[in-house]
Structure 1
Amino acid sequence: MDQGFEERFQDALSTLIGSRMIEADDVRATALNTLTDLILETARRGDRHVPAHFGELMGALLPRVSPQIRATISRRLAPCDLVSPEIARHIIAESAEIAAPMLRHSPVLTASDLYAVAVGDCEEKARAVAARTDLTADMVSALIDRQDPAIATSLVLAETAVVDGSTAERIAAIPNLPRAAARRLIETADLSDDALARLFWLVDEDARRTILERIADRRGGDKVNEPAPPQNSGVELGDTLFALAAVGERAEIAHRLASTLSLPRALSARIVGDLHGEPLAVATRAAGIPADQATGIILLTVTEAGSSYDVLRTLAGLAERLTPTIARHVVGLWNSAPASRSAARHEPSVARPSARAPRSAAGAPRRLEDVVADLSRRTGS
């Protein structure tokens, strides 16, 4: 069999060289491509042996051709199980562009080879390893330790068997997960309330409602250890926030919620400024505002609610289903694990927000009559 492979190699190489103009590295590139062709042909024929000295020849030629040739060889040989482990290791030691196909697909790389890349090589190579379907638990753990959103996405979307409950929790803690990865985690993993709260800000409105329903189902309306009600009654606060929403004072609404719920100003601004309205529905209920008042505040504050009856109806239903106890629990989770991605900005559906100077979170909320008077002076009304 060795002799047959050698004869085929010599015949093919002689034919190719005889038909082309020889340039500086043409013979070496031609020899490499010919070896690659024959290795793939041998695998297709069902033969399981390639003479060792041809592997040595390939290893000697690879450093002597251009990166483009090496990248092509890596891509073509990556799925082949007749490639020697030495050649595969030679290729994965190259740049990420050359190594990536071999790292993703090679069946001859050992668990030790892949683990070494997962632990100690560059992010691009680690991402290639993360795309494999034969990862061990140790490899997955090492890849998660990198805290890379692209790696996390590969692990989640590949549905690797070793991504169990505790692993999913670790992935959910990686900052700035892409939406597709966050949603898949919600759909496939039994995540804790803390993990669900972290993912809340990263997903679409359907997944957000799934999160809230799951948290509510777990708690079952339990009122044990319920926090004390806000200092102002919910109805009074609802009237105040509705009046502020009517004149477009979204910044003041955020300040009132921050004061009532003991939230950082940035988080309350994110809640009020969210494009879809679920956070505001949660926060108003957490503040003890009745569901019908919360619906009016949402209508005047959330752009989508003011332009779509279906959206408003959905948010009103969400506010109706959430008890203040559950809502306060969710807000507390947000407060303990603030979202890592900044909120999208939008215009309110009824009135434009008035300009205002920045104010410290420690400052007291403005009196409603002062807000209205200030607005009247600016508009001349």
Structure 2
Amino acid sequence: MTQAAAAPEFDDSLGEAGAATPAFRARHALLRRLADVVCLPSSRVNAFERAMTADLLVDMLREAQTHEKLRVSRRLASLTEPPTTLVRLLLKAEFEVAEPLLRECPHLNESDLVDCARNAGLDHRRLIAARRGLGELVADALIEHGEPPVLESLLKNDTARLSYAGIEGIVALTRNDPRLLPYLLKRPELRPAHAYVLFWWADSEARRTILQRFAVSREVLQDAVGDIFSMAAEEGWQDPLSRKALQFIERRQRNRAAIEKSPFESLEAAIAAGQAGLTRDVAEEISYLAGLKPMTGLKIMSDSGGEPLAILCKATGLPKAAVRALWRGLRRPETDASGALVPALERVLITYDMIAVDRAQTVLRYWNWSLSSALTPALLKAIEEGDEAALDEYSVPQRTAMLALSKEFGR
């Protein structure tokens, strides 16, 4: 099909009075003829002639009325190669002018869509977000505005491609708009680095989804690097980079070296001591004995939902009773007036039952890696100042820590 055949006729029925007024008949006729030339097939007009005509149209349409722009927009919507200068002007015009192009023209290029996303209005962006085959650059431009209706449309668009940075941006936005969570959790681009951060502010249903989808086994990693543990031991574990990675992979969760320095003979003894009321000192000892840093332990024990307590106990080989002991030590109610378990504790105990030890260890170690090892002085300063504009300066675990901990520092 040629461009001329694809283009609809210039719509004379549009206009404030249904027809051009005598004073503007020349303008109306000129706009129509120029649009005719732009829509001619390449066999009738060359690229330079088409570009020259488009430039004339752009100059006229800048001062034209809305209904005149709309006529041209409808005419261009079926073209396979609409002129960029003309398209950009119409895409940034009133929504009713841009709508035919955004809805009906599948051939808009990425740069034009990015320009529209950054310089037009919310309604424009919502239509862009729903376009088929949307690329990462356009999606990133849409995400920059942080508009929930646009993001919801984008996340629902299963033909759109989202970048790692784009997903990370939406993750941060879900902290203040949890309605986006169900749609975000369905995206194939979502990675453990994102999901484990989402967990901290997700509701119970979303947390269950995250654990079921992202709490993966480390068996493949353990098989792949099993012989490297002995190499690192022979070197005295002097290389901090390999030591940190191997600590994430290894099967043993508890810190045996911490027992020698602890006032408690075991992790079980520390938890038993905390049943009467978890003090900061006891909580820190539990963290050390569980192979965690105090920052991670604090995050787990201060979590209002309680599911992290189940992850902690399952990963360290503690019985289900330890979950209730920690719950009691945190002075949280266990039963209601009728003697039945409170729903929150029941949910936490179900979490304990549903997750395997190795998978619980994966979650726990990821938290420990991302929430503590990345806390450099520069990152702490960025968290305190809410400087999320500097995210690109940091590594994956540093960005994870920033997102998860920013609320802890008074944001």
Calculate the TM-score normalised by the size of structure 1. Answer: 0.56
8 A Cα contact 1:274 1:344, kept in partner: no
Query: In the TM superposition, what is the alpha-carbon distance from 1:282 to its structure 2 partner?
Result: 1.8
The alignment of Structure 1 onto Structure 2 pairs a total of residues equal to 305
Query: In the TM superposition, what is the alpha-carbon distance from 1:194 to its structure 2 partner?
Result: 3.7
TM-aligned CA distance change 1:317 to 1:188, over 3 Å: same
Query: In the TM superposition, what is the alpha-carbon distance from 1:11 to its structure 2 partner?
Result: 11
Q: Which residue of 2 aligns with 1:243?
A: 276
Asked if residue 282 in structure 1 is aligned to residue 311 in structure 2, the reply is yes
Secondary structure, aligned partner of 1:312: helix
Asked if residue 140 in structure 1 is aligned to residue 115 in structure 2, the reply is no
Measure the CA separation in 2 of the matches of 1:305 and 1:344. Answer: 27
Q: Which residue of 2 aligns with 1:46?
A: none
Q: Quick one: percent identity of the two aligned structures?
A: 17
Q: What RMSD over aligned residues (CA atoms) do the two structures have, in Å? A: 5.4
Measure the CA separation in 2 of the matches of 1:300 and 1:192. Answer: 34
Query: In the TM superposition, what is the alpha-carbon distance from 1:331 to its structure 2 partner?
Result: 1.9
- Cα deviation, 1:294-350, whole Å, max 9, x if unaligned, reads 1232256386866662332221122245455543321221232436155889xxxxx
Measure the CA separation in 2 of the matches of 1:58 and 1:288. Answer: 73
The AA in structure 1 aligned to 2:133 is L
Aligned partner (choices 302, 317, 328) of residue 273 of structure 1: 302
Query: In the TM superposition, what is the alpha-carbon distance from 1:59 to its structure 2 partner?
Result: 4.0
Secondary structure, aligned partner of 1:338: helix
Q: Which residue of 1 aligns with 2:105?
A: 107
Measure the CA separation in 2 of the matches of 1:85 and 1:254. Answer: 65
Q: Which residue of 2 aligns with 1:262?
A: 292
Query: In the TM superposition, what is the alpha-carbon distance from 1:244 to its structure 2 partner?
Result: 1.7
Secondary structure, aligned partner of 1:296: helix
TM-aligned CA distance change 1:54 to 1:111, over 3 Å: closer
Measure the CA separation in 1 of the matches of 2:276 and 2:316. Answer: 16
Query: In the TM superposition, what is the alpha-carbon distance from 1:79 to its structure 2 partner?
Result: 9.9
Aligned partner (choices 315, 320, 325) of residue 296 of structure 1: 325
8 A Cα contact 2:140 2:166, kept in partner: yes
- Structure 2 runs not aligned, ≥5 long: 37-49, 223-248, 371-399
Q: Which residue of 1 aligns with 2:82?
A: 85
TM-aligned CA distance change 1:91 to 1:224, over 3 Å: same
- Cα deviation, 1:78-106, whole Å, max 9, x if unaligned, reads 995379934432223559x7887467435
- Cα deviation, 1:243-274, whole Å, max 9, x if unaligned, reads 224xxx5x566544544443353x44332232
Aligned partner (choices 173, 191, 207) of residue 168 of structure 2: 173
Measure the CA separation in 2 of the matches of 1:158 and 1:82. Answer: 24
The AA in structure 2 aligned to 1:225 is R
- Cα deviation, 1:137-192, whole Å, max 9, x if unaligned, reads xx3256348874557654432112656xxx5x665433514245543343453865
8 A Cα contact 1:271 1:279, kept in partner: yes
Secondary structure, aligned partner of 1:189: coil
Measure the CA separation in 2 of the matches of 1:129 and 1:283. Answer: 45
Q: Which residue of 1 aligns with 2:387?
A: none
8 A Cα contact 1:183 1:207, kept in partner: yes
Asked if residue 338 in structure 1 is aligned to residue 401 in structure 2, the reply is yes
The AA in structure 1 aligned to 2:168 is A
Measure the CA separation in 1 of the matches of 2:125 and 2:203. Answer: 26
Measure the CA separation in 2 of the matches of 1:305 and 1:225. Answer: 32
8 A Cα contact 2:315 2:364, kept in partner: yes
Query: In the TM superposition, what is the alpha-carbon distance from 1:131 to its structure 2 partner?
Result: 0.4
TM-aligned CA distance change 1:264 to 1:108, over 3 Å: same
8 A Cα contact 1:92 1:98, kept in partner: no
Measure the CA separation in 2 of the matches of 1:262 and 1:11. Answer: 69
Query: Mean Cα displacement is larger for which, 232-241 or 149-158?
Result: 149-158
Q: Which residue of 1 aligns with 2:129?
A: 131
Calculate the TM-score normalised by the size of structure 2. Answer: 0.53
Secondary structure, aligned partner of 2:401: coil
Measure the CA separation in 1 of the matches of 2:352 and 2:92. Answer: 56
Aligned partner (choices 313, 324, 335) of residue 346 of structure 2: 313
The AA in structure 2 aligned to 1:239 is A
8 A Cα contact 1:286 1:327, kept in partner: yes
8 A Cα contact 1:275 1:304, kept in partner: no
The AA in structure 1 aligned to 2:293 is L
Q: Which has the higher contact order (CA 8 A, sep 6+)?
A: 1
